[in-house]
């Protein structure tokens, strides 16, 4: 066997600079393979829909839909990012709890609580300990659409997204099923983030999800804090507060999922002195 030692090697212009090997042979590189003179090697890039129709074991690509590198093992595409190789959180193997995705980057992952349809959901794996799944994107432009037990603008198997310009929301039944499967054991599994107030309300983990009716119907929905796993303040507000929180008695400290829908015009997250805000409902 002969060994060729060169600084650089290029194919001919007649062959589009490609180096051709006989079909029965492989090009073996003992050192580092650099794609260009800056030492970079670029993987094939594409969406989930653009995956090769007939992949073979060892195929590797960067999935722009899911924001991670994936490898085909001969039967399924595995996630290979942040030093972790696995399928949990993929369409073929959806997660049942966000804690199964610990250590992975924020992004889109598949979930399927027991007895429910699977959905591709956005996960914030960075803030407040990570593991937060976006269950609703509340927009004041669509006013009181979030004050319902039903799903809102959920198309196919796509959950709420950061880029939504109208309110989107998972059904209360799906959120409660997710909570029942969750492995989180802390004190504040619900997080309302009001982006216009720049305020946060964390809700007692003992609460169940009912995002239409009065929060007064279950006291845990009114035991809240401004900090993750912080001391819970029992607000016990009047019947006008809907879902979670307190719109009425906090002097701007807290806010509510909704306020007096029967009055009309009480859009978005609400607080008497702060007014209305866009925001997100996160659950873990």
Gap between the Cα atoms of 212 and 149, Å rounded: 6
β partners of residue 136: 169, 281
Query: Hey, what are 167's tokens?
Result: 């309110």
Tell me how far apart the terminal alpha carbons of the chain are, to the nearest angstrom. 59
More confidently predicted of 14 and 194: 194
pLDDT at 64: 81
Query: Hey, what are 113's tokens?
Result: 């609580």
pLDDT at 37: 60
Least confident of 9-23, 110-124, 146-160, 214-228: 9-23
pLDDT grade for 69, boundaries at 50, 70 and 90:
confident
pLDDT of 84 strictly over 60:
no
pLDDT at 4: 64
More confidently predicted of 48 and 211: 211
pLDDT grade for 35, boundaries at 50, 70 and 90:
low
pLDDT grade for 85, boundaries at 50, 70 and 90:
low
pLDDT at 216: 93
Of 35, 74, 75, 70, whose CA–CA distance to 51 is shortest? 70
Tell me what the mean pLDDT of segment 3-16 comes to: 63
Asked if 26 contacts 33 with a C-beta cutoff of 8 angstroms, the reply is no
pLDDT of 83 strictly over 90:
no
Model confidence over 227-273: pLDDT tens digits?
Answer: 999 999 999 888 899 999 999 887 889 999 999 999 989 999 999 99
Gap between the Cα atoms of 92 and 117, Å rounded: 13
Gap between the Cα atoms of 202 and 191, Å rounded: 5
β partners of residue 242: 214, 258
pLDDT at 175: 98
Model confidence over 182-198: pLDDT tens digits?
Answer: 999 999 999 999 999 99
pLDDT at 86: 66
pLDDT at 2: 61
Tell me what the mean pLDDT of segment 101-127 comes to: 94
Of 280, 217, 271, whose CA–CA distance to 243 is shortest? 217
pLDDT grade for 42, boundaries at 50, 70 and 90:
confident
pLDDT of 70 strictly over 90:
no
**What does pTM read for this prediction?**
0.75
């Amino acid at each position: 066997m002969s060994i060729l030692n060169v600084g650089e090697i290029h194919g001919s212009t007649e062959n589009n600079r490609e180096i051709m090997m006989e079909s029965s042979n492989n090009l073996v590189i003992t050192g580092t393979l650099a794609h260009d003179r800056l030492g970079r090697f670029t993987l094939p890039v594409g969406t989930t829909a653009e995956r090769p129709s007939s992949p073979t074991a060892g195929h590797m690509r960067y999935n722009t839909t899911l924001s991670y590198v994936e490898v085909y093992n001969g039967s399924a595409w595995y996630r290979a990012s942040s030093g972790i190789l696995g399928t949990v959180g993929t369409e073929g193997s959806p997660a049942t709890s966000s804690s199964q995705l610990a250590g992975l980057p924020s992004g889109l992952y598949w979930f399927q609580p027991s007895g429910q349809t699977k959905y591709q959901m956005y996960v914030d794996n960075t803030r407040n300990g990570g593991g937060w799944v976006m269950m609703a994107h509340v927009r004041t432009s669509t006013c009181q659409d979030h004050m319902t037990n039903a799903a809102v603008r959920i198309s196919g198997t796509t959950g709420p997204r950061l880029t939504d310009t109208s309110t989107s929301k998972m059904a209360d039944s799906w959120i409660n099923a997710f909570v029942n499967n969750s492995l989180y054991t802390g004190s504040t599994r619900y997080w309302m983030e009001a982006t216009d107030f720049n305020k946060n309300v964390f809700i007692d983990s003992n609460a169940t999800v009912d995002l239409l009716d009065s929060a007064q119907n279950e006291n845990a929905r009114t035991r809240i804090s401004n900090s993750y796993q912080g001391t819970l303040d029992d607000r016990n507000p009047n019947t006008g507060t809907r879902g979670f929180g307190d719109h009425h008695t906090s002097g701007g400290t807290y806010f509510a999922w909704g306020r007096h829908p029967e009055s009309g015009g009480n859009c978005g997250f609400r607080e008497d002195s702060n007014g209305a805000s866009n925001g997100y409902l996160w659950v873990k």
